[in-house]
């Protein structure tokens, strides 16, 4: 058992993030002031903060650890919230003889820290980030900054959410409503969404970017889909050259009619997401489409003139050998999409996959291509770079194997501005649909949020109120 005794600060959350990296699970007892992790070792660690700063040590070895930590970080301490994490991370790397690609950077978007320290070397020395990840992080942060300045600080970004899917993929917990159980709600949802958009759009300023996501917005039947798309295109005022993206992720929900409607409405960016280019994996994860469906829909979209297509892949799907990501990637290169987004499998609360399945994904690595997920990701990134894509946004989720990341890559000039604006926390986001969270920025980087009901029935019933509330929230 590993026990971390906390005193003089309240950073349980951050310490648990670090402990989870090493031990998988961490249970906090905030009242009694400790965190425990199951392990064969018996270790008591103290994490203390007082006027002199932070100190992290194994019980009975205070001087030794204070000296080691001070020498490692040149006697300089960060703000308490970060210092307690990096000290614990450093101590555990010594105890377990193990390091992680992102070092002590947990629970914060890596590019935010890159923007603070502005140097790869400081990510390595101050946060113990591995050199290749530090380079990736700086490169991505620079790209994010370049893209964000293309948009005025007061620009309006809109998210329209459709929390329904044709079936629930085993790894996913985004959704919510499996269409087989909620078929009858789709027309009502399309009505509610278009009502909310119409009521709010009358008073809103011109919109810079819009993302119709989910879930799977293309899950609507042809008529409902056209209604939603034309409501967006006709009721909302857009800036000249505004960017509109539609998540058309599941090829089993796309057809020529829906593509033509989007084209007709002036939509150029869509996502067609394979997740993997292995039929066997698609079946295992309940995706209910084939690799050939992805290829067919992609080619159809190209034929109809879509010139900005994103494709999502998931690295580390636990039934695959890590190397299969490379095989998927090679097939994606044959299609030559403008954007490729690589997510690393993460455990979500409501997903069918267990934590052990997600974090233990590497155990299946075997045979010829016996690379770890970490190594395979690095190889994938260099192949993507060789094909002319640049990383342009990045985020991390809790509970991924080795704390690995999600990265969006794009060919120059095809980056999705909405993704960057939304991630940056430096732009307002107006959200429509059940569970939509509006985000408003105030002086001094203060952020306020306003949420619509998550429950679809309540949202449909109270949709006028949802529109009124967000107009009031933004003072439009
Ligand atoms: C909100 S989902 C919507 C995508 C769309 N419905 C589809 O299935 O193509 C956006 C992306 O998140 C990723 N994703 C979902 N669950 C994940 C998980 N547990 N681990 C890693 N990536 C995940 C997938 O790549 C997915 O395309
Ligand atoms: S990956 Fe997409 S289709 Fe699958 S459950 Fe998640 S949101 Fe729905």
> Quick one: which ligand is closest to 161's CA?
1
Q: Which tops the pLDDT comparison, 369 or 43?
A: 43
Residues in contact with ligand 2 (CB, 6 Å cut-off): 165, 168-169, 172, 174-175, 214-216, 249-250
Q: Which residues of 251-273 are buried (b: 16+ CB within 10 A; e: fewer)?
A: bbbbeeebbebbeebebbbbbbb
How far, in Å, is the centroid of ligand 1 from the Cα of 95? 36
- Please work out whether the CB of residue 225 comes within 6 Å of at least one atom of ligand 1: no
Tens-place pLDDT, residues 75-103: 999 999 999 999 999 999 999 999 999 99
User: pLDDT by residue (tens digit) across 375-418?
Assistant: 999 999 999 999 999 999 999 988 887 889 999 999 999 999 99
Tokens of 249: 């992720």
Write the Ramachandran bin of 204: left for phi over 0, alpha for psi from -120 to 50, otherwise beta: beta
CA of residue 398 relative to chain centroid, distance: 10
457 φψ region: left (φ > 0), alpha (ψ -120 to 50), beta (else): alpha
pLDDT band at 360 (very low <50, low <70, confident <90, very high): low
Label residue 81 exposed, middle or buried (CB < 10 Å: 0-12, 13-18, 19+): middle
Task: Tell me if 160 sits within 8 A of 232, measured CB to CB.
Answer: yes
The CB of 89 under 6 Å from ligand 1? The reply is no
Question: Distance between CA atoms of 129 and 266, rounded to whole angstroms?
Answer: 43
- Grade residue 361 by pLDDT with cuts at 50, 70 and 90: very low
Q: What is the pLDDT of residues 327-357, one digit of tens each?
A: 999 999 999 999 999 999 987 665 666 666 6
Contact 134, 124 (CB under 8 A): yes
Mean pLDDT of 442-446: 90
For the chain, give the percent of residues with pLDDT over 90.
Answer: 82
Share of the chain above pLDDT 70, in %: 93
Residue 359 has pLDDT above 60, yes or no: no
Per-residue pLDDT tens over the stretch 48-66: 999 999 999 999 999 999 9
- Least distant ligand from the CA of 288: 2
Sheet strands (E) in 316-456: 339-344, 389-396, 405-411, 428-432, 437-442, 446-451
Give the C-alpha separation, 95 to 129, whole Å: 18
- pTM confidence score: 0.93
Give the ligand with the smallest distance to the CA of 351: 1
pLDDT of 176 reads: 55
Distance of alpha carbon 402 from alpha carbon 360, whole angstroms: 10
Return the number of other C-beta atoms located less than 10 Å from residue 131's C-beta.
12
Instruction: Give residue 365's pLDDT.
Output: 38
Instruction: Cite the beta strand spans of 59-206 per DSSP E.
Output: 156-162, 164-165, 177-178
CA nearest neighbour of 346 among 94, 139, 172: 172
Q: What is the pLDDT, as a whole number, of residue 351?
A: 62
DSSP 77: -
Query: Six-digit token pair at 65?
Result: 């650890």
Delineate the domains of the chain, giving CATH numbers in brackets: 2-98 (no CATH), 150-432 (3.80.30.20)
User: Probe ligand 2: pick from 163, 165, 214, 251, max atoms within 8 Å of CB?
Assistant: 165
Which of 180, 181, 182, 250 has most ligand 2 atoms within 8 Å of its beta carbon, as the pocket-test mutant? 250
Least confident of 257-261, 346-350, 373-377, 448-452: 346-350
**Is the model's pLDDT at 364 over the cut of 50?**
no
- What is the whole-number distance in angstroms between the Cα of residue 206 and the centre of ligand 2? 30
Strands 43-50 and 2-7 come out as parallel
Pick the more confident residue, 24 or 426: 426
State the pLDDT at residue 425.
Answer: 92
CA 41 vs. chain centroid, Å, equals 34
38: its two tokens: 């199951």
pLDDT class for 203, splitting at 50, 70, 90? very high
For residues 428-437, give the mean pLDDT.
96
Task: Specify the pLDDT at position 313.
Answer: 97
Cis bond before residue 259 (omega within 30° of 0): no
At residue 367, the pLDDT reads: 38
- pLDDT value at position 385? 97
Cβ neighbour number for residue 300 with a 10 Å cutoff? 17
Instruction: Indicate the helix (H) or strand (E) that contains 209.
Output: strand 207-214
pLDDT tens across 277-287, in order? 999 999 988 89
Alpha-carbon span 218 to 300, nearest angstrom = 15
Please state, in angstroms and rounded to a whole number, the distance separating the CA atoms of residues 319 and 302. 31
């Amino acid at each position: 058992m590993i026990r971390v005794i906390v005193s003089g600060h309240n950073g349980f959350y951050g310490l648990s993030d670090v402990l989870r990296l090493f031990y998988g699970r961490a249970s906090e007892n905030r009242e009694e002031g400790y965190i425990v992790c199951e392990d064969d070792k018996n270790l008591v660690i103290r994490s203390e903060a007082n006027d002199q700063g932070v100190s992290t040590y194994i019980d009975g070895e205070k001087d030794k650890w204070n000296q080691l930590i001070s020498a490692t970080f040149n006697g300089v301490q960060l703000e308490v919230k970060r210092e307690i994490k990096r000290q614990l991370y450093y101590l555990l790397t010594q105890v377990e003889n193990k390091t992680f690609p992102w070092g002590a950077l947990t629970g914060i978007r890596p590019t935010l820290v890159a923007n603070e320290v502005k140097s790869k070397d400081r990510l390595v020395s101050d946060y113990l980030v591995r050199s290749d990840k530090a380079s990736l992080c700086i490169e991505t942060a620079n790209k994010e900054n370049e893209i964000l300045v293309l948009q005025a600080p007061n620009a309006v970004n809109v998210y329209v959410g459709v929390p329904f899917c044709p079936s629930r993929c085993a790894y996913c917990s985004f959704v919510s409503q499996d269409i087989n159980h909620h078929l009858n709600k789709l027309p009502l949802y399309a009505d509610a969404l278009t009502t909310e958009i119409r009521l709010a759009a009358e008073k809103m300023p011109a919109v810079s970017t819009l993302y119709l996501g989910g879930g799977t917005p293309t899950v609507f039947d042809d008529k409902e889909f056209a209604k939603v798309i034309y409501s967006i295109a006709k009721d909302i005022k857009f800036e000249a050259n505004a960017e509109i993206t539609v998540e058309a992720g599941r090829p089993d929900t796309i057809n020529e009619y829906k593509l033509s409607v989007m084209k007709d409405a002036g939509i150029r960016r869509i996502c067609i997401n394979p997740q993997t280019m292995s039929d066997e994996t698609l079946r295992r994860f309940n995706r209910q489409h084939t690799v050939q469906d992805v290829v067919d829909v992609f080619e159809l979209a190209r034929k109809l003139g879509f010139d900005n297509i994103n494709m999502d892949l998931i690295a580390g799907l636990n039934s695959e050998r890590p190397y299969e990501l490379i095989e998927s990637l090679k097939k994606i290169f044959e299609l030559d999409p403008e954007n490729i987004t690589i997510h690393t499998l993460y455990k979500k609360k409501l997903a069918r996959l267990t934590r052990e399945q997600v974090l233990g994904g590497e155990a299946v690595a075997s045979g010829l291509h016996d690379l770890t997920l970490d190594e395979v990701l690095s190889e994938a990134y260099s192949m993507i770079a060789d094909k002319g894509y640049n990383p342009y946004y990045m985020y991390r989720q809790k509970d991924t194997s080795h704390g690995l990341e999600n990265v969006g890559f794009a060919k120059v000039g095809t980056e999705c501005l909405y993704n960057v604006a939304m991630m940056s926390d430096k732009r307002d986001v107006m959200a429509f649909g059940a569970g939509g969270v509006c985000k408003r920025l105030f002086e001094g980087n203060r952020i306020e949020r306003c949420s619509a009901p998550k429950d679809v029935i309540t949202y449909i019933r109270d949709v006028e109120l949802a529109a009124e509330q967000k107009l009031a929230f933004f003072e439009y």
